[in-house]
Amino acid sequence: MTTQQPTKWRRLRACPACDMVSAIPVLRPGQHASCPRCGHVLARRYLHPVQRSIALAASALITLLIAVAFPFIRVDAGGLDNQIALSQTASTLLQSHQPIVAFIVACTAIVLPGLYLTGVIAMQANVLRTVPKAYSDVIARLFSQLHPWMMADVFIVAALISLVKLTGMADVHLGASFWAYCVFALLLLMTTRSVDIDWLWYRLAGEPETPEDIRCGITAAEQHVTGCPTCGLINHLASHPDNEGHHASCIRCGTLLHARKPHSLQFTWALLLTAIILYIPANAYPMMITTALGQSHAATIIGGMMELWQHGSQPIAVVIFVASVLVPILKMLVLILLSWLVKHPGPLNALQKTRLYHLTEFVGRWSMVDVFVVAIMVALIQSGNLMSVLPGPAALAFCAVVITTMLAAMAFDPRLLWDTQGKQYD
């Protein structure tokens, strides 16, 4: 009786990776709570979290404005001087009749990070001023959706690769914008890590009492409950008479809930099939077309990598091979394997499969390196027939491959791996 009475006051969470219900203890700054079954981090605490996030987000936003306002890179090739701003990496693609690629580059490198930082400042300021949640809950819902699509760190790596490729043909000068963007990428990473969604929702909307019949140590599905993917609160699936028992709305944030992601495997297979089809033209057609002294040379992904290797840039060639060839192929193969293992359990246990899934989810975005390299090179080298670089038809196809594989990983529900294997875990 003594353990059952305070249950409703404990903060219970269902792990989004394995679905086991755990009680989050009182955390001190610097501590975090992980799922005892799979190790997924459920919550973490920071000292002065509001002030910390505002300071980091404001600093990152200032550096982003500096990066946009000042010159990014300048090249001098045989007396031909060309200087670009950060925004020209997208606008030049638009002029080269690649509007979709231009839109994706602008969003992932500039627009989405800027919106995210603005949202962090606005929401944390509301928490600091104890303003009713108003639009803050809407911003909080967007946080988890924006994380994978903010690729400032990937863009920095692409810029470094572009500099190596340009070193042999021109003198390269880094502008203030380049260094500002490097600082921005670091501050953006620190900002995303400083935001504790679990703590934020507690400050925004409180913590409703936990139903007394929910037990720790077993899955939420076994108890006909589920954890909200937005705020983490555990909800009864069958407690809403207007629903069919398989889904409901979160009583704290209003997110539509399901025991498992609807049609997870079907969406994953469809997106993987699309990515496989798109991967063929992405490698068969030129990624970049270079014109020098009136002669044009088209290079595919593999062809560009071989040229880098032959010109003595073996480390860069390896990076391109890993990011543009190895990662997409392995990610598609791993997701195919995991989707198959949901129905046919193999020698791997559920914990190993989950770790494999999280690895593919993490590395998938880095395949955008090659797209960013094309964007930077196209913006920098524009001197007509004397010397110019244009995006090839493979740029759009490869960009689509990266996006569809990322969406496939998001559509896959790792809890299905544990459902299949039941309680066979270490």
CB 29 within 8 A of CB 47: yes
Could you read off the pLDDT of 85-96 as tens digits, one per residue? 999 999 999 988
Cβ atoms of residues 151 and 370 within 8 Å: no
Full-prediction pTM beyond 0.95? no
Residues 184, 60: contact at Cβ < 8 Å?
yes
Q: Report the mean per-residue pLDDT for the chain.
A: 84
pLDDT in tens, 137-187: 677 777 778 888 999 999 999 998 888 877 766 788 888 999 999 999 999
Phi, psi (deg, nearest 5) at residue 269: -65, -40
| pLDDT cut 90: percent of the chain above it | 36
361 shares a domain with 279? yes
Across 13-27, average pLDDT: 90
Q: Based on the fold, state whether residues 265 and 344 are members of the same structural domain.
A: yes
Q: Is residue 188 part of a domain?
A: no
Mean pLDDT, range 375-380, rounded to an integer: 87
Residue 205: what pLDDT?
A: 79
* 38 located within any domain: yes
Residue 9 lies in a domain: yes
Alpha helices in 73-222 (DSSP H): 88-95, 99-106, 112-128, 136-146, 152-167, 176-194, 197-205
Model confidence pLDDT, tens digit, residues 347-361: 788 888 999 999 988
Angle at 420 between CA 417 and CA 422, to 5 degrees: 105
pLDDT value, residue 132: 56
Q: What is the pLDDT of residue 136?
A: 67
Give the domain extent around 316.
Answer: 261-426
pLDDT of residue 60: 96
Residues 320, 405, single domain; the answer is yes
Residue 297 and residue 221 share a domain: no
CA distances from 51 to 54, 126, 234, 315 (A): 5, 12, 29, 41
Mean predicted confidence (pLDDT) in 81-105: 89
Q: Give the SS3 label for residue 187.
A: helix
Given a cut of 60, is residue 425 above it in pLDDT? no
Q: Are residues 214 and 271 in the same domain?
A: no
- Structural domains in the chain (count): 2
pLDDT in tens, 179-193: 999 999 999 999 998
Same-domain status, 328 and 380: yes
Most confident of 149-158, 284-293, 298-307: 149-158
Average confidence (pLDDT) over 123-139: 71
| pLDDT class of 331 with cuts at 50, 70, 90 | very high
What pLDDT is attached to residue 383? Answer: 65
Across the range 276-294, mean pLDDT stands at 86
Note whether residue 70 is domain-resident: no
Which residue type occupies 348? L
pLDDT computed for residue 206 by the predictor: 80
Query: Does 392 map to a domain?
Result: yes
Which pLDDT band, with edges at 50, 70 and 90, does 2 fall under? very low
The pLDDT score that the predictor gives to residue 245 is: 43
371 and 236 housed in the same domain: no
Check whether residue 414 and residue 356 sit in a common domain.
Answer: yes
Mean pLDDT value across residues 53-78: 90
* Mean pLDDT on 211-236: 87
CATH of the domain at 365: 1.20.140
Cβ atoms within 10 A of the Cβ of 30, count?
9
- For the stretch 34-47, pLDDT in tens is 999 889 998 888 88
Which positions ≥6 away from 265 have C-beta within 8 Å?
339, 342, 412, 416
Q: Average pLDDT in the 317-329 region?
A: 87
Half-sphere exposure of 273 (CA within 13 A, CB side): 6
50 in a domain, yes or no? no
Average pLDDT of the segment spanning 371-379: 89
Is the residue at 21 inside a domain? Answer: yes
- Report the pLDDT value the prediction gives residue 385, as an integer from 0 to 100: 56
pLDDT for residue 302 is more than 60: yes
Residues 237 and 371 in one domain: no
What pLDDT, in 10s, does the model give residues 238-252? 644 444 445 688 888
In a domain, 403, yes or no: yes
Same domain assignment for residues 342 and 381:
yes
Q: Are residues 236 and 359 in the same domain?
A: no
Q: What is the pLDDT of residue 246?
A: 52
For the record, the structure tokens of 87 come out as: 């925004």
**Do 291 and 219 lie in a common domain?**
no
- Residue 247: the pLDDT is 61
